[in-house]
Structure 1
Amino acid sequence: MGSIRFENAGKIYGSGPGAFQALQNVTLDVREKEFVAIVGPSGCGKTTCLRMVAGFEPVTSGRVMVNGQDVTAPGPDRAVVFQQFALFPWKTVAENIEFGLRNKGLPKGERQSLVEGALQLMGLESHASAYPHQLSGGMQQRVAIARAYVLDPAVLLMDEPFGALDAQTRVVMQEELVRLARVQPRTVLFITHGVEEAVYLADRVAIMTKRPGRIKEVVDVRAIREAEKWDSLERIEDVMDTESFIHLRTHIWKSLREEKGASK
């Protein structure tokens, strides 16, 4: 099970005259094995939403729940992939992937089997003995994703995971994430500044208002993807050339532009 629910969730930082409200009355449901991307103006609280689900930030008001239980701390049912790869430089690829399994106390044989599966899933078999500094940015992010997937979390939280990559590598990783979503679907909450990235990857796109952030609109992408048979197209650029993709992208951009204008 891997559902997420924001129920009138709010977040205030600080106290007294210096306090500011980052989020206000955020309400959003992410269903089991659904991929939801959140987009919004800079500073609207996208990452704060993810951090509250992860258990890194407490809510000030309302509730944030995973599988119907209030989130009060980090837990093994949730894994986070950050923009910065956060790999241990002194550990090999295989050792980085194994790290969380060691913390769970799994026996050596089981850890090795799971790591081998994760290496194969991400196409990292030939790099198992390499160290992070020997890998490209895209390969390092593959390791970070493998480290999250190997824990078999119910919920995968991704905070602009491809933001530090060059444009070409980012496209490759987007296509890879789509493949993973088909092979091993997870409940995913994905934070991004990229409208095209959100439309290409997500089942639904949640648009946030300017600060204090609220959910302005949720756009259903999956229904259009299935109706237009995007999955039959081989390359990301083929999907982005379809009229339906262009329409969704334009709609979301207009909604975000309204928020930018409202903040002046």
Structure 2
Amino acid sequence: MGVIQFKGVNKIFGPRETGFQALQDINMEIRDKEFVAIVGPSGCGKTTCLRMVAGFEPATDGVVTVDGTPIKRPGPDRAVVFQQFALFPWKSVYDNIDMGLRNLNVSRSERESRIADILNLMNLTQYAKHFPHQLSGGMQQRVAIARAYVLDPDVLLMDEPFGALDAQTRVVMQEELVRLARKNPRTVLFITHAVEEAVYLADRVAIMTRAPGRIKEVLDIASIRNAEDWDSHEKIEDVMDLESFVHLRTHIWRSLREEKAAQHA
């Protein structure tokens, strides 16, 4: 199970009375194997939310839980994929993916089986002996995602994982992530600045206000996707042309524009 809950969460950096309040009264549940994207203005606390679930950052008030257990520290039930690929340049693709399993003391035979499966799933088998510098940015991020998935986490945390990629590679990786999520579903918390990416990937999209960040609105994308059978369209550009997609994208952009305007008022 991988149910994430934010209950009355506030985050203040620095002294309570004089510090910077990044988050205010965050209440949200992400259901097991649900893909939720968070969008919002720069500095609204999106990444801070993710870091709390990862166990990197404590809440000032309130509690963040996974399956009802308060998060105190990082754990193997949660894997993180960052914008920067964070691969070990001196290790091969295989050994990069193997690192986390070794740290968990997984047996050699089990490691070999799981790595073979994830290499095949991510279309990386032929690159197993390559080093990061021999791969494109998209391929390196594919390795980073494989390294997270091979740990078999309940929760996958993705902090703008495609932000450093060029536009064409980014689209390919979005399609790849959709394919992977269908074959091997996980609870996913996905942080992004790209509205189209959020609508295309997520079951629900949470829109945050300017700092101090609050949950302004949560949109149910999955019900619209299922009702209009977005999955029958093979390419992302075909989905983006749909009237329902355009409506959702426009709604989110307008909401973010309101926050941006208020931020500078």
TM-score band w.r.t. shorter chain: over 0.9
Matched, 1:250 2:250: yes
| Equivalent position amino acid for 1:44 in 2 | C
- For structure 2, the residue ranges without an aligned partner over 5 or more in a row are none
What is aligned with 2:26? Answer: 26
What is aligned with 1:91? Answer: 91
In the TM superposition, 1:183-194 aligns within 5 A as 183-194=183-194
Deviations 1:126-176 (A, max 9, x none): 100000011000000000000000000000000000000000000000000
What is aligned with 1:208? Answer: 208
Alignment root-mean-square deviation, CA: 0.8
What is aligned with 2:106? Answer: 106
| TM-score of the two chains, using structure 2 as the length reference | 0.98
Deviations 1:62-97 (A, max 9, x none): 110111110010011000000000000111000000
Tell me the distance in 2 between the aligned counterparts of 1:211 and 1:21. Answer: 7
Tell me the distance in 1 between the aligned counterparts of 2:16 and 2:5. Answer: 29
Tell me the distance in 1 between the aligned counterparts of 2:255 and 2:190. Answer: 19
**Cα shift at 1:6:** 0.5
**Cα shift at 1:229:** 0.5
What is aligned with 2:72? Answer: 72
Tell me the distance in 1 between the aligned counterparts of 2:43 and 2:67. Answer: 28
**SS at 1:175's partner residue?**
helix
In the TM superposition, 1:117-136 aligns within 5 A as 117-136=117-136
What is aligned with 1:173? Answer: 173
Cα 1:191/1:61, change in 2 over 3 Å: same
Tell me the distance in 1 between the aligned counterparts of 2:83 and 2:90. Answer: 20
What is aligned with 1:40? Answer: 40
What is aligned with 1:233? Answer: 233
Runs of 4+ in 1 over 4 A off after TM superposition: none
How many equivalent residue pairs? 264
Matched, 1:199 2:195: no
Tell me the distance in 2 between the aligned counterparts of 1:94 and 1:77. Answer: 22
**SS at 1:23's partner residue?**
strand
| TM-score of the two chains, using structure 1 as the length reference | 0.99
What is aligned with 1:139? Answer: 139
